[in-house]
Structure 1
């Protein structure tokens, strides 16, 4: 099969398409013929060597954690899914013609493979960090860097749970945030004053998605460092805030994916695809992701 690989860390030029053997599903896993695979910031960060202290990788390495496709092999102990089923889920090295998934859910009718491929990491991350930051129904959550995949998922999952969100993004993306259910505001100087005007009763928790150096300001806005969490800024603990990088248990993650699928069917969840790329343009997808201004998701499609 064809798969994205790199033999050393570096810029996007180290990425190559190589022919390798198909992976075999282990116990509790399924293998899919990949129709589409989502691009996440962690993909280019791993390729560039930024995450090795936290997530060491062996060379040669593959790329990708999100995928959607058709089940073509089922591992030992797996039930509730069969060869031929359309699923989306999370695995390792999903930028390939075939990939093994550890967690998955059935793809709903009406959800394209391209859209579904953008769900897994965003949904799992959003579900996890909403729980870890401890925000409750009826409270207000500030989301810094809200227009990307994870931020978009946070807004919609929070809304479904009865949590109000205020999201930061450039002015051009404010209508998008409103369409998801958030109250938008711009980032940058004066954020605390803008948030105070939008939430006179205060903000009970804050999430840093973009990692743009805002942790001290988020701590000041919430008044409680323990109610601030970042998925991008490793310095957050220096300010008393939390970080979150450890994925959920596979069974819980699969449940979260199924929940997002149900919300999609009910018309209450969407992660729009900003741009798709063929597999042989993976370098361009990494480059666009690294620029940090994506609205929704970037997706690789298989020919």
Structure 2
């Protein structure tokens, strides 16, 4: 095993120029209770870009509170919350028989850095992640996966699909109910569509006209243009659940289309984090609001079982070598695709 590794290091907050290809990064050593993973592939997420530009800062992208948990990052920092790879070494107390397992890493970790964490840490944000040759995580968060899918395909699942499953778990979506999904063509949105259909729900997808056929192909029962008058399309009190990944100016209409006792769940705000809320709508309709970041304990295991049974499918829109992370993030920001963009870490030049 080498003493150093290759990878992409985040050197500060700002544009893509803050991402630096390195071949001299120290290889992590697994602590007691940890495994060392040779990373095969890693997905690209909003979190990566938000952390890079300082979006999580409540001030003016102030580096002092621009970390995921509202604190400062230490640089160089290795991002990457989606990890698929193989265990190549184990720390003390971990069964050596696990070496060779192909695994997906649970991105929300209650154990990290050799200690229990409350609140949990997130891979690639609170600690180094998958944009490098190797990654060390607590053994409990490395889930063996038996699947004919490729490493690239499997790497499209962890963050987006566990976030989606967590939102549906929190909102208690059940068979026969109707869920409205905003930002439905993105990684989390397209995962919500598939996972909601797996629960037997009716799915309404809010998206652009160009992506409607893609969403119908994965189970959307109805598609509505994201610029349409939502109330005119659906009417008041039309759905039991809203999964909102956009927020922004369209937020008030989402509450109007919810039925009394409806449930609103969110884990994103790509349309803008500041919204207009008429509190009367909230309390007169007895609505319930749910945020979705830390995963419920059962979520990731349920997701892996769905993958192994073939009940959900990967939506890989494009693949880039790890060294082309700047181009991958530019393609991600363009939003002209459905599904996920994935980095080939094992073959970093993409040749």
User: Larger deviation: 218-227 or 35-44?
Assistant: 218-227
Task: Measure, in 2, the Cα distance between the counterparts of 1:101 and 1:155.
Answer: 30
Give me the TM-score of the superposition, normalised by structure 1: 0.88
Pairing 1:115–2:153 present: yes
Q: CA deviation at 1:9?
A: 0.1
Alignment correspondent of 1:133: 171
Aligned-partner SS, 1:146: coil
- Residue 258 (structure 1) aligns with: 304
RMSD (CA atoms):
2.5
The residue aligned with 1:99 is 135
Partner of 1:20: 25
Contact conserved, 1:38 with 1:64, CA < 8 A, in 2?
yes
Q: How does 1:60-99 map to 2 (within 5 A)?
A: 60-78=76-94, 82-89=98-105, 90=107, 91-92=123-124, 93-99=129-135
State the secondary structure of the residue aligned to 1:20: strand
Superposition map of 1:137-216 within 5 A: 137-183=175-221, 184-196=223-235, 202-216=238-252
1:35–1:70 Cα contact (<8 Å) kept: yes
Contact 2:239-2:262 within 8 A present in 1 as well: no
State the number of aligned residues: 296
Aligned pairs (5 A) from 1:262-273: 262-264=308-310, 268-273=311-316
Higher relative contact order (CA 8 A, sep 6+): 1
> Once the 2 structures are TM-superposed, how far is the Cα of residue 35 of structure 1 from its aligned partner?
1.0
Query: How many Å apart are 1:22 and its aligned residue?
Result: 1.4
Q: For the Cα contact (< 8 Å) 2:165–2:303, is it kept in 1?
A: no
- Match in the other structure for 1:291: 334
Deviation of 1:106 (Å): 2.7
Which deviates further from its counterpart, 18-27 or 235-244? 235-244
Structure 2, gaps ≥5 residues long: 57-65, 108-122, 283-287
What's the CA shift for 1:100? 2.5
Larger-Rg structure:
2
Consecutive unaligned residues of structure 1, counting only runs of 5 or more, are none
Q: Deviations over 1:103-124 (max 9, x none)?
A: 2333333201001011000121
Could you tell me how far apart the structure 2 residues matched to 1:300 and 1:276 are? 6
Alpha-carbon offset, residue 243 of structure 1 = 5.5
Alpha-carbon distance, 1:210 to partner: 3.2
Partners in 2 of 1:182 and 1:88 — Cα distance? Answer: 27
Q: Deviations over 1:40-81 (max 9, x none)?
A: 111000001112264332222211111111111234454697
8 A contact 1:144–1:210 mirrored in 2: yes
Q: What secondary structure is seen at the aligned counterpart in 1 of 2:14?
A: coil
SS of the residue 2:317 aligns to: strand
Q: Compared with structure 1, are the counterparts of its residues 245 and 180 closer, same or farther at alpha carbon in structure 2 (3 Å cutoff)?
A: same
Q: Of Structure 1 and Structure 2, which has the larger fraction of its residues in helix? A: 1
Provide the C-alpha distance between the structure 2 equivalents of 1:31 and 1:192, rounded to a whole number of angstroms. Answer: 51
Give the TM-score taking structure 2 as reference length: 0.77
Aligned equivalents of 2:181, 2:35: Cα separation in 1: 34
Q: Where do residues 30-41 of structure 1 align in structure 2 (5 Å cutoff)?
A: 30-41=35-46
Residue 120 of structure 2: aligned partner: none
- 1:28 deviation in Å? 4.4
